[in-house]
Amino acid sequence: MKSINQLVSKKPWLGWVLFLGTMVVVFLMGLLASTIVERRAEAVFAYTPKVEFEEWEPRHEIWGKNFPREYESWLLTSDTTYASKHMGSVTIDVLEKDPRLVVLWAGYAFSLDYKQSRGHYYAIHDIYHTLRTGAPVDGEVSTQPNTCWTCKGPDVPRMMKELGGAKEFYSGTWETLGHQIVNPIGCADCHDAQNMNLIITRPALIEAYENMNMDILKVTHQDMRSLACAQCHVEYYFDKKKYEGVSYLTLPWHKGKTMEDMEAYYDEIGFTDWVHGISKAPMLKAQHPDYELFTKGVHYDRGLSCADCHIPFKNEGGVKYSSHHAVSPLKYAHQTCQVCHREDTEELIADVYERQDNVNESRMILEDLLVQAHVEAGFAWDNGATEVQMDKSLKLIRAAQWRWDFVAASHGSSFHAPLECLRILSQGIDKAHQARYELNTLLHSLGVAGKVVYPDISTKEKAQKYIGLDMNKLRADKQKFLDVVVPDWAKQAEARQSQWKVKNI
Amino acid sequence: MKIVPRIKNLIQFFFPPQAWKVPVILMLGFFTGLFVFLFYISRAPSYLSDEPSTCVNCHIMTPQYATWSHSSHREWTNCNDCHVPQDNFFRHYWFKANDGLRHATIFALRKEPQVIFIHKAGKNVVQENCIRCHSELFFNDKMDRYTMSGHEYRREKRCVDCHREVPHGTVYGLSAVPEAKGVPLPQSPVPAWLNSIMNKNK
């Protein structure tokens, strides 16, 4: 047998193979060794701040320099690709999907435009674009007060401090603070800049606790992980009696947080959000009672908070942090549901959909009944019914739609508390039937022979035409507002923010 | 041809010529040194032992270690007692090598999920090992026999289907035990004498 040297001298390419092969092996071994060292270093982590900023700093990118993981996960709320069976973070034109809502909200701004809410990232963008805020151009004022900014971002606590209080902030129409509120919902809304503790920055929740004779400073950390969200994800109304000309943001929790408690409070103070355009019923608009309904569910009973599923803990190379990509937990079932549940992802998601489908089924029944009741009430007015005669049925319509809206307006409640939702909807169905019975009896006693004509509301356009809206004008005005006013607000904000100093460490 | 000269020939084949001897020795030393370093830094020998601290060489298993070390099973078992077959030597190391290499691969590729699920093969082994120690639970003292239901309980349902919290608790996930104390995460691979020399030079 020849020696390897002889072989190589006979076939020189063999020498190259040996040379290159050895090189690759050594290289790979070096890589392997260095990754082992690097990965071991991940187990040790020290918080090293990069910048120092003021307590009221509203810009997320500044906080993000110190908290890159939290900031980057927050940025993911800009993603609009995830769609679950019923919701998700895609844009859904709810009125287009379900034109019956246009009739239910006739005479109220929600009949103009109502879209499924997207991620926190879009809070400011979407309030510019919704037709509900109107088009305050050329000296015109918005139909909404500054109170509508309250849940839109960390510029709000900053301005409340600058203006001297909540009352001053809530005064005036919506466009007057437009140039100040430019950063969407994020860091400073829930965190103390000194120590990153969770804090309540919105006075309405603090006052609601006072109204219930409770102290919001005496709650546990786990409570705070829900209450931080409850600053905004709750039912509220504008109290216009507290101060002259001020729409004072108030949570109706004086008697309690259930649907009945809040209704009793509204009835007692004689509150009405608007008078219905067709039935003339004194309506209530439920905003999003997400927190209230969550506390009626089994996950709350077992001690969970909003953040456990919506801002879940994640581990990245040995570093534990909270993913601030607040979104449907179904998107990340493996880091939300499965932290406790050992079942397969598909099985868990199917369970959620089953609850949502069932609640939705009952909601649709009530929705149909409400459209009919409103139209029939309008028909009774047309045939000479008097206010006294209508009183009972209109109150029933108010109660029935409040129940429908309480479930429909809350995000995720059909999963958070399906039993409570079905209980509320079944009451609503009963009240709607009672209202229709009263109206029928009334029509009969009035001797009305004709039949009620139900409108064609198969599309959003048809429904909006039926309730008498001129959508083209509204949209043109809005476009002008977006072209003229919004860029000016952005310019003012940039000039202001460029003055603020951030200290590099 | 006889066998001994044949082997001699084969060895001869790999021998370098006289002139190459020194560089080849140096190269061999280089590779051996690198290999030993790799062996040391990855704590390779520890994988042959049953020490639970081995299982937190990479930090992924920290929650499993912490929950086990606060459970009653800590007094009697280590990780391998439940998670590796104990019936014979070959199966024991074959399973351990398989599982270990899979874990190492997933860790190196950063493919670890936020919540770890046990694989089917692992489940079967855990079930075997539950029975290995708790066989008295299948035994009917009065009848002096294994119970009839033993078959059902052994094959159709697993112990942990009901005893779910044994021994790793109710909450899973890489972030489940942030405050865990006493988890022996690997210390710095740099020996103390080297550290003190480096610090002196500063």
- CATH number of the domain enclosing B160: 1.10.3820.10
> A43 and B59 in contact by Cβ < 8 A?
yes
Decide if A455 contacts A144 (C-beta within 8 A): no
Has residue B179 got a pLDDT over 90?
no
pLDDT average, residue stretch B123-142: 84
B124 and B176 assigned to the same domain: yes
Decide if A421 contacts A414 (C-beta within 8 A): yes
Give the Cα separation of A103 and A375 in Å (integer): 9
To which residue do tokens 């209704």 refer?
A263
B25 and B69 assigned to the same domain: no
Has residue A424 got a pLDDT over 70?
yes
Of B15, B27, B186, the CB nearest to A40: B186
B166 inside 8 A of chain A by CB: no
Decide if A210 contacts A218 (C-beta within 8 A): no
B30 and B60 assigned to the same domain: no
Give B183's contacts in chain A (Cβ within 8 Å).
none
B38 and B63 assigned to the same domain: no
B78 and B154 assigned to the same domain: yes
Single-letter amino acid code for the residue at B76:
W
B176 and B115 assigned to the same domain: yes
The per-type count for chain B, helices as H runs and strands as E runs, is 9, 2
B78 and B171 assigned to the same domain: yes
The pLDDT of residue A451: 84
Structural domain harbouring B162:
54-185
B34 and B75 assigned to the same domain: no
B191 falls within a domain: no
What lies within 8 Å, CB to CB, of A45 at 6+ separation is A318, A319
Question: Looking at CA atoms only, how far is residue A326 from chain B in angstroms?
Answer: 17
Structure pTM?
0.84
Give A1's contacts in chain B (Cβ within 8 Å).
9-10, 12-13
What is the number of other CB atoms lying within 10 angstroms of the CB of residue A300? 17
B160 falls within a domain: yes
B201 falls within a domain: no
Give A340's contacts in chain B (Cβ within 8 Å).
170-172
B75-110 tens-digit pLDDT: 999 999 999 999 999 999 999 999 999 999 999 898
pLDDT average, residue stretch A31-52: 70
User: pLDDT: is A500 or A76 the higher one?
Assistant: A76
B33 falls within a domain: yes
Average model confidence (pLDDT) across chain A: 92
B179 falls within a domain: yes
B128 falls within a domain: yes
The domain total for chain B is 2
B38 and B59 assigned to the same domain: no
B48 falls within a domain: no
Half-sphere exposure of B198 (CA within 13 A, CB side): 6
> A339 and B16 in contact by Cβ < 8 A?
no
B141 and B99 assigned to the same domain: yes
Torsion of CA A193, A195, A196, A200, to 10 degrees: -70
What lies within 8 Å, CB to CB, of A329 at 6+ separation is A309, A310, A312, A336, A337
Has residue A101 got a pLDDT over 90?
yes
Question: Looking at CA atoms only, how far is residue A166 from chain B in angstroms?
Answer: 38
Q: How far from each other are the two terminal CA atoms of chain A, in whole angstroms?
A: 70
The pLDDT of residue A383: 93
> A335 and B10 in contact by Cβ < 8 A?
no
SS3 A283: strand
> B38 and A33 in contact by Cβ < 8 A?
yes
Question: Looking at CA atoms only, how far is residue A181 from chain B in angstroms?
Answer: 36
Of B37, B108, B175, the CB nearest to A320: B175
Of A39, A318, A335, the CB nearest to B173: A335
B192 falls within a domain: no
B59 and B94 assigned to the same domain: yes
**Window 47-76 of B, Cβ < 8 Å to A:** 58-59
B37 and B58 assigned to the same domain: no
